[in-house]
Every structure is written in structure tokens, then in C-alpha cells.
Structure 1
């Protein structure tokens, strides 16, 4: 999630658990500690694929952060033995502030290596968009109330209520994802479309309308849209994965790492003399967030792998966002998936 959300989540947790002892300082301590896992952004990487796939790595591991929480608790108890709270309460607070950061990240689609160093596909639960005001605003309101009026019992209760609401909202998002996947799968089966893999991804800033991508055995995928309030079958668009083009990258280490990180939700396009690899999980049809040039056409017509570089992409703007918001309640007109998808090969 975004940095503001992570900060107010950490502040809310520490304020609720330690505000009685630390006062407003609890909010500062929690906000600062909650940003620690994202310090990996300060590390330098030689290419954008490495930057993408090593972010949310070791610094987001529950094992690493549990050890860090234990170390911090030990140091605090050692050098401030007169603190008016027990070691267990202190460790629990520090642990929750640190670990809820990567757990919340795992509820987005990006991919979080929650169990590093275990070689698991990064957790990508796709329950909420990376920025969701319904999740963030109640926490922010609780923190601002505590700043304004102090860490009173009412403020601590308000923070606790905001934390309960935000957690329940994540559950609502997961339920929405499951419902969208079920609805699209059933609709495709009714049309005789055999789906091999399918996943729903929340649309920008909400958990009511979902983008559902589905693979078929013939090397294609479908871009589909489903809203919680739909009565008619979801709309969809069939697109090629171009796996034959992607074979030129077979065995290339960074390509294999990208396949692992994205759970192989990749599309390949020959655009001029560039072989462009697209992460299908993030963005909208045609407005994909992560695209990489990973090979160039050689003089003989084949492909030569190169150091990856970012490929320009049309991310969409206010016009597309208004259409997405309108699609929550209205199935007509459907989103212009065909028009947007043309951008993928530009």
C-alpha cells in the first residue's frame, strides 16, 4: 500500500496499544517504525526488472521482522528498564507495527515475499488496490483525532475501532475478489470457454468493480470486467499472449525471475525491433503498469536478450478513471476494452 496508509496503520496500532503510556509519541513511534520495511527502496539495482522483483523482499519477511521486533524490544527493556509497560506488551506492539506492513502489502496485487527466504511465489492476494481511501481514511481520521485531543481513552477506542473496520474491509475485498472470479468463470463456462487460470484484480480506488484476467490453453487471455452490482453477464475481450515470441527469452535469468515473481502472468509483444514483456496483473487493459524491453531484433531477424529497460506505457488518467467509477453501478456502456487494448502494441 501507499506510504501514508502504512504510516497511519502503524500509528494506529501503537497508539491503541501504547498510547496510555507514551501519549502522542506513540503515534510518531508507530508511524516511523511502520515505514522501516520500505527502506529497501533506497537500494540500487541495475535494471527495472531487478528493482521490481527484489522490492518487498527480505525487508518484508515476517521472519526478519519478527527478529527485528525481538531485538528492538530487548534493547528498549535493557536501556529503559523503568518503562511503565511490560516486555510482552512491548514486543507485541513492535511486532504488529512491523509485520502488518508486509501483510497489508500482500493484500495488493504487486507481490510480497512474506516468507523470504523460502522460495515461494510472492504473496499477491489482490483484495485491495494499492491506494484505497475506504481503508485509509478511517485510520487517518482516528490518528488526527488522537493528535488533536491527545491519547485519551476515547482516542484509543476510536483507533481500535478504525483498526477493526480496516481489517474487516480487507475481508470484504477478498470476498469481492472470490465473487468476481466465480462470476466470470461461470459466464465463460456457459460460453464454452475453457479457462486454465483466472484471477481478479481490484480496479483503482475501490473494491466494487473488478478486472478479471483469464488464460486459455490456446495461448490467449481474456480481459473481463465484473461489478458487485452487475445483473448481466460480464464483458470481456480475447487477447494473445504471444508465447511464441516469448520463447526467445527462455532460460534468461531475469526473465525467469519475472515469470516467478508474477506467477507467469506475462504477455509478449514484438514492437518494432523490441521484444516487450508485460506484467498483466497491474493496470487496465492496454494501460499496463509494468512493461519491459528485454530483447532486440538482430540483423538475422532473431532476438538477442538485452539488459531490461522500462517500456513507455499509457497508464490512463482521469477520463479512464471516470469510466471505471461509472462502471460500478452501470453496465452500459461497457468499458472500451478493445479501444484500450490497442495501446498495448503501440
Structure 2
């Protein structure tokens, strides 16, 4: 999640645990602890793909944060909070730290909660990385707690209760969309194919669905407000890796994305894209990995992350209209490079 959400969550958790001991300093300390795990962004692992894959790694691991909480609590009690009961101080620090990666695990990016174990990162994908309906119920009570100090703990508790209910709602909404997708692909050649589902920006009503299908993939949008549960699919070019073997870095990238990768050959360049994040016309994680030399032979290059460019102005109102069930997906998903043109589509999802 974004830094504001994480800071508000850390502050609210600290305020609730502190109880009558809650002060503005406690709230600020909780906010700092809530953002601390994301300091791993300053680390450089050598290339942009590795930086992407290893973000939310050791600094988000429960096996690291819990022992670190004990050390930090001992240090803090020794030098700054001698009057605090150690158990209360340890609970505050541990809760403010570990709620950060737990919240991150509800997004699509993936969080390595169990690093260094060789297990997949956790990516529930029921929340967009920025969602005001989650953040505001936390942020407003925390700001109010800075003013009404006697009620600070109760305000923080109320904010946490509301935001947690919204988090639980996102799981319910995800379950409804999963059932709808299963019904839509049942009896088609897409039944049993890998499926990725995530909310669109800033809400849990309109959802994006991606289904892999060999050298193409099908992308659709479905809103919980749609009167018709039939998903309107758009086929997209997925491409393929042109080399007989793939480098270890690409294998790691495919494992990280769970196979939701697009290979795009354009002019003399080859890029790889994480299909889970963004939408068809806007993918923030696209990397140049190969170029053609003067003899028109592909050669690997050091990965370079490409600028996705700005969001098109027409997409914002189109997204809102689609959320309400009043817009087709073409305005949001289709462009001249990624979509099959209507005359090129020789088969349907059926």
C-alpha cells in the first residue's frame, strides 16, 4: 500500500495499544514504524528487474520483523521509555511493524512474508495499492487523536475497526468476482487456464480480469454494479520469448509474476511486462531486455525500466463510467499495439 496508508495504520495501531499512554509522540512513532519496512527501496540489487523482484523482501518478512521488534523494544525501554511495561512496548512496536507487510499482502504486487523460506510471496490481490476508502477511516481518527488526546485510543480503535471491515469487504468482493469469472469461462477453452483478478484503481467495485491463453491473453472488466454478469473480453497479444533459452533473471521475473508476462517486439526492441500491475494501456513495470544488432540478430542487453507515460485523460472518466456499468471496455483496454483488431479476431472465447 502507499506510504500514507501505512503511516496511518502504524499510528492507529500504536495509539490503540498505547491506550491511556497515547500522546502525539506515540502516534508519530507509530507512523514511522509503519513506514519503516519500505526503506528497502533505497537498496540497489544491480538492475531494475531485481529491484522489483526483491522489494518487499527481507524487510517485510515476519521472521525478520518480529526479532527486530524485540531488539528495538529493549533498546527503547532502556533509553526512552523506562516507565512503560515491556510487554506493552513490545506489543506496540511489533504490531506497528508487522501490520505493514500484512496489509501489503492484500495487494497484487506480492509480499515475501516468510523470507528467507523458498515459498511464493503472498499476493491476495483484493486491494489496489491506493484506496481512499481504506485510508481515510484511519487517517481522520489519527489526526483527530492529535487534538482530542483523552479519546486518542478510542479514536484509533474506531479507525482500525472501520478500515479492517473494509479490508474484509474486499475479500468478499474478490470472492464474488472469482465466482463470476468461473461461470464465464466454464465450458470454454479458457476453463482451467491461469487467471489473475485485481481491483481497478481506488475502489473494490470494478475489477480487472486477465486469463492466459498461449500467445495471447484475454482481458476484461467486471463491475459489481453490472446488471449483466457476462464479462466483455478483449483479446491481447501476449507474444513469446524469441531465444531458445531464457536467462535466470527472466525465470525469476516469470516466477515473481506467476507467469503473467507479456513479450513485446516493437521495431528493434524486445520488452517484458508484468501484466498483473496496471491495465492494457498503462503498465508501470515494463523492461527492455533485448535489441536487434546491425545484422538483425537479437542480443540481450542490461535491463532498463521503461517510462509508462502519463495516464490518458479519457481513461479516468471512462473508468468511472465502467465502474457504474455504463461503458464498454474498449476505451480503457484497447490500443493499436496490444489489442487484436476486430477483423483479426477469428475466434471468440467460445
5+ residue gaps, structure 2, are: 340-350
Aligned to 2:222: 226
Could you say which residue in structure 2 is the equivalent of 1:52?
A: 52
TM-score by length of 1: 0.91
Distance 1:29 1:231, change over 3 A: same
Native 8 Å contact 2:318 2:331 kept in 1: no
Counterpart of 1:32 in structure 2 is 32
Contact 1:297–1:304 under 8 Å retained in 2: yes
**1:254 pairs with one of 236, 245, 249:** 249
Does residue 312 in structure 1 map to residue 307 in structure 2? Answer: yes
Other-structure match for 1:78: 78
Deviates more, 1:299-308 or 1:34-43: 299-308
CA gap 1:40/1:338 in 2 versus in 1, 3 angstroms? closer
Greater alpha carbon shift after TM alignment, 198-207 vs 177-186: 177-186
**Aligned partners of 1:258 and 1:337: how far apart in 2?**
29
Is 1:199 aligned to 2:199, yes or no? Answer: no
- Residue 15 (structure 1) aligns with: 15
Which whole-Å CA distance do the structure 2 matches of 1:125 and 1:6 have between them?
A: 17
Cα distance in structure 2, aligned partners of 1:318 and 1:14: 40
Residue 160 (structure 2) pairs with residue 163 (structure 1) = yes
2:186 matched to 1:185? no
Instruction: Report the more deviating stretch, 155-164 or 296-305.
Output: 296-305
Q: Which moved more, 1:198-207 or 1:280-289?
A: 280-289
In 2, distance between residues paired with 1:339 and 1:14? 42
- Cα distance in 1 between the residues matched to 2:220 and 2:275: 12
Q: What is the RMSD of the two structures over their aligned residues, measured on CA atoms?
A: 2.0
Matches within 5 A, 1:40-119: 40-79=40-79, 82-83=82-83, 85-119=84-118
Q: Is the 8 A contact 2:220 2:329 kept in 1?
A: no
Alignment: residue pair count: 338
How do 1:209-220 residues align onto structure 2 when only pairs under 5 Å count? 209-216=206-213, 218-220=214-216
SS of match in other structure, 2:194: strand
Displacement of 1:72 after TM fit?
1.1
Indicate the SS of the match to 1:307: strand
